[in-house]
Structure 1
Amino acid sequence: MTPNTTKGVLLAMTTAFLWGFLAIALKVASTMVDSYTIVWFRFTIAFLALFSFFLFRKREMLRILIKPPFILVVAALALGWNYLGFMQGVSYTSPGNAQVIIQLGPVLLALAGIIIYKEKLSRRQIIGFVVASVGFLLFYRQQLITMLGKEADFNTGVLWIVSGAVAWSIYAVFQKKLVQTHHAQAMNMFIYGLPALLFMPAANFEHLATLTPGWWILLVFLAANTLIAYGTLGAAFKYIEANKISIIVSMNPIITFITMAILSEQHVSWIPPENISPQGYLAAILVLTGAILVVKRKRKKD
């Protein structure tokens, strides 16, 4: 690999690891803080961090806040909905469920490339779409069986996550286009700032004032996760193709499953164990395999 490719892979891997732990942290936070407040806090802290940096180091980057490109506004709105959809999905279901279903995002991103940019659909991608579709259906069916008595919550969570996956694919399409002509972190500053402003009326400031230091540390971790994960993702787009990034990022559910398995073995009380059957894990593997086949393009020599 070239130095730039290696750099892009490492940046994308950083995003994957952070997202792998994110769902677990969100589930824990949801037991104390409502979804809208968590989403607002994550965006606000991430925005303030970048705004402060540019204010003192690169003030010219602040111009993007005054006259942002229209598609950057759309990307910011899409990512805002993605955060809320995933947060609500984790709250209604579980970290593992959310991580599997959100893989619809990379699949839709590849589909957008085919439709919008007229990319040729390969045999491998067709197989991937079929495998991923079968995996999604099997996983959904199996989890409905497993979630006896909680089907309504599960279905609500699935709808939230699917909407979040659609929103993420919209964000990623525009981010890939914009990063070629705009500074990645300057764009992220705007992308964080607009949702922070829009979610502010729904944030529960009175409840935040009653939180103990431990809960504040968790919220700060969630905000730092936002800042670092999307910072490395935006930078990765500069060095490697979107399909390679999607493959790497699609690995984050494995990190979630392994971490949840370790926590279950430790019998921790602060997060419920995953309720996924062996058949459910098999379906999850089909989803991940299909997603990888979809986003992986043929090499030029092929």
Structure 2
Amino acid sequence: MHQTSGRWRLGLGLSLLTVFLWGILPIALKVTLQALDVYTIIWFRFLMSFVLLGIYLFVQKKLPTLEQLRSSSGKLLAIATIFLGGNYFLFMQGLALTTAANAEVLIQLATVLLGFGGLVIFKERYTLWQWLGVSLLTLGFLLFFKSQITNLITAQGQYLLGSGLILLGAVSWAIYALAQKQLLQSLSSYHIMLIIYGGCALLFTPFAKINTIFNLDILPLSMLLFCGLNTLIAYGAFAESLEHWEASRVSAVVTLAPIITLIAVWLVADIFPNLIPPEHITLIGIIGALLVVSGSAAIALGKSEK
């Protein structure tokens, strides 16, 4: 099984960068969805990430060799590619039917599954203090997203369908992430992401309406370009964080993304009221946010058992 490098500070920093980029991503996607279909957006994000990462590795003379590709597991690469592509598709379809905040809280099931997957598959262990962090994290999310949870219970039609798609996307993402962590035994994080980006771009090419991209106005085009860069940087940081830190701890930090989303939605809605509808946070929500931060910190920074 893959073993981390032990450079936990680097792993923490990369995880925080991932949190920020994933936290603001739903807003950019929501704007882009007003002008493009789901397949074209996903195709462009993967293709742009593949091209830029490929150019970088070529310039640095770090492209994967045939020996490295032969030594890696083709089945694991296929699993990671298919399930990351599935995650993008399911999340985007769900986001089109729900709000950015609702989508971001539901997708957090992915990080919970990743954390428990790290415990079961990679034999990572939580201390009593970290299990307390899990409890605080769970309670915090229940309080912070009380209104969204209520909407799920009472919702009908498209909103409920979108929420279900996002939950399936969370399962798909957790499978991808666990497969990628095991692939780090034979390939670097950059090599893994290059192969996955290229594979996913090929998967969505038959469904993309490429000509529609050339007819975009400045705002949706800039948001589309941002989404492509976000994919490259965020997943690169996430993949590298797994090289240096345990999957269970990376997953704990990533659970902070919904807080970034709600703060970003509040700022954007205040500056551009016609672009994104505002989210209203109550006192209970603020208390929940503090519990989420405290629980995540306890899980991420607590010492593992020998």
TM-score by length of 2: 0.82
Deviations 1:14-49 (A, max 9, x none): 111111111111111111111111111100110111
C-alpha distance in 1, partners of 2:39/2:67?
26
Equivalent residue runs for 1:140-159 within 5 Å: 142-143=147-148, 145-146=150-151, 151-159=156-164
Task: Output the CA distance in 1 between the equivalents of 2:116 and 2:6.
Answer: 29
1:61 aligns with 2:58: no
Contact 1:51 1:62 in 2 (8 A): no
Matched letter for residue 13 of structure 1: L
Does the aligned pair in 1 maintain the 2:118–2:246 contact within 8 Å? no
Q: Matches of 2:158 and 2:278 in 1, distance apart?
A: 17
Query: 3-state DSSP class of the match of 1:82?
Result: helix
Q: Which residue of 2 aligns with 1:50?
A: 53
Q: Please name the residue that 1:162 is paired with.
A: 167
Alpha-carbon distance in structure 2 between the residues aligned to 1:214 and 1:254? 25
Please report the RMSD computed on the Cα atoms of aligned residues, expressed in angstroms. 3.3
Match of 2:192 in 1: 187
Change (3 A) 1:286 1:104: farther
Aligned residue for 2:15? 12
The answer to whether the Cα contact below 8 Å between 1:35 and 1:88 also exists between their aligned partners in 2 is yes
* CA distance 1:284–1:96, change in 2 (3 Å): farther
Matched residue, 1:33: 36
Instruction: Name 2:178's counterpart in structure 1.
Output: 173
Q: Structure 1: which 5+ runs fail to align?
A: none
Taking the aligned partners of 2:8 and 2:138, their CA distance within structure 1 comes to 31
Identity of aligned residues (%): 36
Q: Which residue of 2 aligns with 1:299?
A: 303
Contact preservation (8 Å) 2:77, 2:183: yes
Give the conservation status (yes or no) of the 8 Å contact 1:64–1:187. Answer: no
Return the offset for 1:246.
1.6
1:126-154, Cα deviation, whole Å (9 max, x unpaired):
66666666777788874365589963222
The residue number in structure 1 matching 2:232 is 227
The one-letter amino acid paired with 2:303 is: R
Alpha carbons 1:89, 1:160 under 8 Å: kept = yes
Partner Cα separation in structure 2 for residue 3 and residue 123 of structure 1: 21
Aligned residue number for residue 208 of structure 2: 203
The whole-number CA distance in structure 2 between the counterparts of 1:7 and 1:137 is: 30
Q: Quote the Cα distance in structure 1 between the aligned partners of 2:137 and 2:31.
A: 29
Structure 1 residue 181 displacement after superposition = 2.8
Per-residue deviation, residues 45-76 of structure 1 (Å, max 9, x unmatched): 10111223334442651648965632122111
Letter matched to residue 93 of structure 2:
Q
Structure 2's unaligned 5+ residue stretches are: none
Does the 8 Å CA contact 2:18/2:237 hold for their aligned counterparts? Answer: yes
TM-score (norm 1): 0.83
1:184–1:106 CA distance, 2 compared to 1 (3 A): same
CA distance in 2: counterparts of 1:122 and 1:11, whole angstroms: 23
> What SS does the aligned partner of 1:258 have?
helix
CA distance in 2 between counterparts of 1:282 and 1:257 reads: 14
Residue 239 of structure 1 is matched in structure 2 by 244
Q: CA deviation at 1:93?
A: 1.0
